[in-house]
Structure 1
Amino acid sequence: MLKWQSKDQLVALLSKLVGCPSVTGKAQEVEMAKLIHSQLQELSYFKENQGDLRLHEINDGRLFVTALVKKPNVKKTIVLLSHFDVVEVEDYGTFKDLAFNPKALTEEYKKNKHLFASEVQAEIESGDWLFGRGAMDMKAGLALQMSMIERAANGQFDGNLLLLSVPDEEVNSAGMIGAVPALVELADTHDLQYVACLNSEPMFSKYPGDENYYMYTGSIGKVLPGFLSVGKETHVGEPFSGLNANLMASEVTRVLELNTDFCEVVDGEVTPPPTSLMQRDLKQEYSVKIPYTAVSLYNVLFMKRSLTEMTDLLLQQVKTAAENIEGHYSRHVEQYSKLEDFSETKMKVNIFTYEQLLQVAVEKHGKEEIKKRQMELVANRTDEDDREFSTRMVEDLAILCKELSPMIVLFYSPPYYPSVLSSDVEVISTTKEELIAYAKEKYNIKIKSLHYFSGLSDLSFVGLRESGEELQPLLFNMPLFKKGYHLPIKELEKLQVPVLNVGPFGKDPHQWTERLHVPISFGMFPDLISKTINTLLNK
């Protein structure tokens, strides 16, 4: 008897998956991998082919799952990609304890529907929606893919299916990065030809009230540039003798925040402009010395822009910020000099990349000394996350080169998501057209195809467009590269697989109103995903 094919069966599976509170970085994230493994282990196929269902460990001890259903003497393989981690649930407030119990949470929301906006109230009343953390993003997609594995195990596809489900997509994609070598190894061991990588992230609305259905033939890219602002120390009683790093960081943010010079347009799809993700000074305690170091980090999305172009644009914009800081200082010096006998001074803000600052430090202190300092920092790293530790490594170099201050130093912090696009790959473009026609004919719905999935996804790591050399502007300016952050570049270059995203329909990912539309997601989409797989395999 099949376990995961009807709507009710899929709701039961989803409830079980959501019931494991697999918040990124928490212990239950490991338990989630084991839960998926144990569920798949119940299929007779994996009882007979135990070696084809595996738990793999990444370098920090977390686990990812692979499940291969292989037909004899067949190479064509579709990779079914998903992630099983979720974001935290503090935003649920008094409903927090029910966030991982979708049926109970949905019932509780019905009793308290007055707390919600009218649109959400109507959807609660309809009975068609299931609420809960991960119900939409993306355990519904995982449930659908597990149902496809069950179909494959019963011989319903003319090719092989390889399910890959990973942790950590919501933070650093460490799970997917760790899985890349395993994908290469599995292809070699089993003589697999990866036809496509099919993700089932949920479709994301493009604007409030958007009821359209979407599929995606690529995934947007992301860099996380940081700027260390290093001013000059002074007592608050002599503010013109120094330069406050908070002023510097604020001006960098003012120049970069929502700056449409960074927006790309590809066939009407537009990248959102940069926005600040972190800004703070690095002063550890209160005193009347001004803060002289500060850091700011920015989310910058891209589609076709190269890393060289990205770095050049960031430096161009921070040059503008530096000139504005100098002008601000000069204007206030001039005004203050009219109030008090005061000798006017000039302030020049220097600009460096991390690579340039590292070179200056090496020339000044020697390569071995700098290497020793950096290795000590790595060895003594505490529980700082990658952003904090990147900042500390840049700050350590800046302290060694204080004569260069005031200065602003550009660096990159993890995570990095390459952009990937398969719209022009024949197997993807023809599958897309057939699926759109099939959905219209059978279900009378219109699916719109977009080039880029805008929510960021692990698809970024299966179709790398940059060569190792083209990655250099990023990696040479990333303090953590090979010091806590790894990209398997050789394997990524081997793993040139076309990508596609066809996933369920829901709303409000990462919010306390995250929800899945059950009739569409578990009524229509099992058929649409099955159709997608069959079409890809028969091309």
Structure 2
Amino acid sequence: MSDMSCLPGLAGLDKKIFEILKEYCRIPSITGTSGETLIPEFFKRCLGQLPYYVENPDHLGTWAIEKDSLNRQVCWAMIRGGSEKTCVLIHHSDVVVTENYGRFQDLALDPDRLEAALKADPRILDQEAKKDLLSGLWLFGRGTADMKGGGAIQLALFDTYGRMSQEERKDLPTLIVLAVPDEENLSSGMRAGVGLLCHLQEQFGLDYRLMINCEPHQRLSPERGLISQGSIGKLNLFVYVRGVMAHAGKVLEGINPTGLMAAIATETDLSEDFVDHFENETSIPPTWIFLRDLKSQYDISFPEASYGMFNVLNFHTGPGEVLAKMMEICERSLIQYIAKVSGKRGEVSRRTGQDWPSPSWQPRVVLFGELRAASPAPPAPMSLEEELGFRTREFFPEDPLIVIGLCPPYYPGVSNSVPEVLREKVCTFAKEKFGQEYDNQAYYTGISDLSYAMSAGETQQLSSAMAHMAAEDYQIPFEQIEQVSMNCINLGPWGKDFHKPSERVLKEDLFHRTPMLVDHIIRTYNS
């Protein structure tokens, strides 16, 4: 077991982490529920009585998320170190639902009771999870890995630093910790948190150098840990296909949007066109999250339209370029599908000897922002599918039409440009202190709030692409991100089966290795 007693101020940290984590887990902060509003009270209770905050009560607080229907808040705390150089620790305080625990749902937020119940009746677990349970090396429960475990590490370290004397803190950078809600949904907490970081920067003259997230990592080998110096991008594209209405008995007189949508989906699903490569890393191939026609009941005619959501996970390709690629594919698919219908029409005409005039269609592919600017707004709130139907009915209604746009959330892909410094610090320390090898990854592939830690490209280009976002009230503060832009690292404990009833975290990482590594990076980065 890794020994923290020899490190300055870290003796007993493992017990403090466990104490904080058990209380943190018991809070039912399910994403998108009122349970998330219980976090500020816990956060203040956890840190508010420390000597540092008794002396500096204005260095602990909350930051409101504008227009949030649940009135959720970002919790924050600061400790002034020996310089303005600042390290920011972030974690998300929300967790996913617990219904998949079945009869153990009431125990999902209580690791001790859940472990006892699983040992008595482990049928809900697969063989690997049963083995881990019996080993005693893993802590089970919702949020233990994703990611209240990482949050407990950060808060326990702040407990340590908050008890130091002013003289002892001179060797530390200035530190900030953020607990943000809504990461499992739209990351409204982190997007608001960027504004908080700007505010603190201006108020206290801070020089942001590094953001540390403690999301859990997954391993290919149990003997090798993993750090990530960036985070994968995520983009949701929607494609709306309006055909030309026809009776199925006169199929060659119209354009079936279902057939056209199927052609687009076939060409793009898992397509290499949307995959990025960086050194020996490859982004995840894209796929369609759903595809459906918009017919509400059966009749013998074509559906009016078909609609789908396309998920792109990439590294460095921006939203403007992704939209351009999809437009090119849709334009080509539309031309090819019309040619296919025309070819079938000509074939039937030759066989029957009947002249079949070709329609004078003018096919179009437009971006959602262009459609929105050129069409009347709906008279009342509508779903996106309904709004697209409303807007396109008055937009060249006799022609086949494809509309492409974006849906929340958008996570820019980011990565440190000079990864050698952090890689060397982590790998050397881990090998020396507990004989653990660590691999370095340019992009954390689990999607994370680190996407908002640094600038991901030209602010104007990113903002222009957001003009095609379907949700007008969804905003990403690109200019503020550019203002606070800093390097980032994900340095979290080994976890397994996130979001499943077998979610668990390795105790050795949670209580010893990860906090030692985070503390080491805090003390030595930019020293």
Asked if TM exceeds 0.5, the reply is: yes
Q: Which residue of 2 aligns with 1:16?
A: 23
Residues 9-30 of structure 1 deviation map (CA, whole Å, 9 limit, x = unaligned): 3223212111112121111011
Among 406, 415, 424, the alignment partner of 1:421 is 415
Residues 224-255 of structure 1 deviation map (CA, whole Å, 9 limit, x = unaligned): 11101111233444444433333333332222
Measured after TM superposition, the shift of residue 145 of structure 1 is: 0.5
Contact residue 258 and residue 303 of structure 2 kept, 8 A? yes
Residues 506-534 of structure 1 deviation map (CA, whole Å, 9 limit, x = unaligned): 11112222111112221221111111111
User: Which structure 2 residues correspond to residues 12-161 of structure 1 after superposition, within 5 A?
Assistant: 12-59=19-66, 60=68, 61-71=71-81, 74-155=83-164, 157=169, 158-161=172-175
| SS of 1:403 mapped into structure 2 | coil
- The amino acid that maps onto 2:498 is P
Determine the C-alpha separation between the residues in 2 that align with 1:97 and 1:328: 57
Matched, 1:436 2:414: no
Q: Which residue of 2 aligns with 1:314?
A: 326
Determine the C-alpha separation between the residues in 2 that align with 1:395 and 1:408: 12
Tell me which moved more, 460-469 or 242-251.
242-251
Among 396, 401, 416, the alignment partner of 2:395 is 401
Matched, 1:528 2:522: no
Determine the C-alpha separation between the residues in 2 that align with 1:343 and 1:17: 75
Contact residue 233 and residue 242 of structure 1 kept, 8 A? yes
Contact residue 4 and residue 146 of structure 1 kept, 8 A? no
Q: Which residue of 2 aligns with 1:467?
A: 458
Determine the C-alpha separation between the residues in 2 that align with 1:467 and 1:18: 40
Contact residue 105 and residue 132 of structure 1 kept, 8 A? yes
Determine the C-alpha separation between the residues in 1 that align with 2:10 and 2:161: 13
Matched, 1:515 2:496: no
Measured after TM superposition, the shift of residue 441 of structure 1 is: 1.3
Q: Which residue of 1 aligns with 2:286?
A: 274
| SS of 1:113 mapped into structure 2 | coil
| SS of 1:232 mapped into structure 2 | coil
Determine the C-alpha separation between the residues in 2 that align with 1:337 and 1:37: 78
Measured after TM superposition, the shift of residue 111 of structure 1 is: 2.3
Q: Which residue of 2 aligns with 1:199?
A: 213
Measured after TM superposition, the shift of residue 99 of structure 1 is: 2.0
Determine the C-alpha separation between the residues in 2 that align with 1:100 and 1:477: 40
Measured after TM superposition, the shift of residue 537 of structure 1 is: 4.8
Q: Which residue of 1 aligns with 2:478?
A: 489
Among 227, 241, 246, the alignment partner of 1:215 is 227
| SS of 2:119 mapped into structure 1 | helix
Determine the C-alpha separation between the residues in 2 that align with 1:269 and 1:104: 40
| SS of 1:234 mapped into structure 2 | coil
Residues 86-112 of structure 1 deviation map (CA, whole Å, 9 limit, x = unaligned): 222233233333222222222222223
Measured after TM superposition, the shift of residue 333 of structure 1 is: 4.8
Matched, 1:188 2:202: yes
Measured after TM superposition, the shift of residue 124 of structure 1 is: 1.0
Measured after TM superposition, the shift of residue 355 of structure 1 is: 3.2
Residues 323-367 of structure 1 deviation map (CA, whole Å, 9 limit, x = unaligned): 4533554565567669988765567753222233345x25xxxxx
Tell me which moved more, 509-518 or 241-250.
241-250
| SS of 2:512 mapped into structure 1 | helix
Contact residue 139 and residue 507 of structure 2 kept, 8 A? yes
Measured after TM superposition, the shift of residue 278 of structure 1 is: 2.4
- The amino acid that maps onto 1:532 is I
Determine the C-alpha separation between the residues in 2 that align with 1:214 and 1:185: 33
Q: Which residue of 2 aligns with 1:411?
A: 405
Q: TM-score, normalised by structure 1?
A: 0.87
Among 256, 261, 265, the alignment partner of 1:253 is 265
Residues 239-282 of structure 1 deviation map (CA, whole Å, 9 limit, x = unaligned): 44433333333332222211122111101110011011222233
- The amino acid that maps onto 1:42 is Q
Determine the C-alpha separation between the residues in 1 that align with 2:194 and 2:397: 44
Contact residue 74 and residue 189 of structure 2 kept, 8 A? yes
Q: 1:245 to 1:100 in 2, by over 3 A?
A: farther
Contact residue 285 and residue 313 of structure 2 kept, 8 A? yes
Contact residue 89 and residue 177 of structure 2 kept, 8 A? yes
Q: 1:294 to 1:3 in 2, by over 3 A?
A: farther
Contact residue 323 and residue 405 of structure 2 kept, 8 A? no
Measured after TM superposition, the shift of residue 141 of structure 1 is: 0.6
Q: 1:184 to 1:506 in 2, by over 3 A?
A: same
Determine the C-alpha separation between the residues in 1 that align with 2:525 and 2:179: 20
Q: 1:236 to 1:91 in 2, by over 3 A?
A: farther
Residues 414-451 of structure 1 deviation map (CA, whole Å, 9 limit, x = unaligned): 11111111141xxx632320221110111111011111
Determine the C-alpha separation between the residues in 2 that align with 1:182 and 1:433: 31
Contact residue 436 and residue 446 of structure 1 kept, 8 A? yes
Measured after TM superposition, the shift of residue 113 of structure 1 is: 2.9
Q: Which residue of 1 aligns with 2:366?
A: 352
- The amino acid that maps onto 1:99 is A
Tell me which moved more, 343-352 or 492-501.
343-352
Q: Which residue of 1 aligns with 2:5?
A: none
Q: Across the two proteins, how many residue pairs are aligned to each other?
A: 509
Contact residue 20 and residue 156 of structure 2 kept, 8 A? no
**Ranges in structure 2 where 5+ consecutive residues have no aligned partner:** 1-8
Q: Which residue of 2 aligns with 1:365?
A: none
Contact residue 53 and residue 66 of structure 1 kept, 8 A? yes
| SS of 2:31 mapped into structure 1 | coil
Q: Percent of aligned pairs with the same residue?
A: 27
Q: 1:429 to 1:322 in 2, by over 3 A?
A: same
| SS of 1:471 mapped into structure 2 | helix
Q: Which residue of 1 aligns with 2:14?
A: 7
Contact residue 78 and residue 537 of structure 1 kept, 8 A? no
| SS of 2:525 mapped into structure 1 | helix
Determine the C-alpha separation between the residues in 1 that align with 2:354 and 2:101: 56
Contact residue 132 and residue 138 of structure 2 kept, 8 A? yes
Measured after TM superposition, the shift of residue 190 of structure 1 is: 1.2
Residues 206-238 of structure 1 deviation map (CA, whole Å, 9 limit, x = unaligned): x6x666311111111121111011112334444
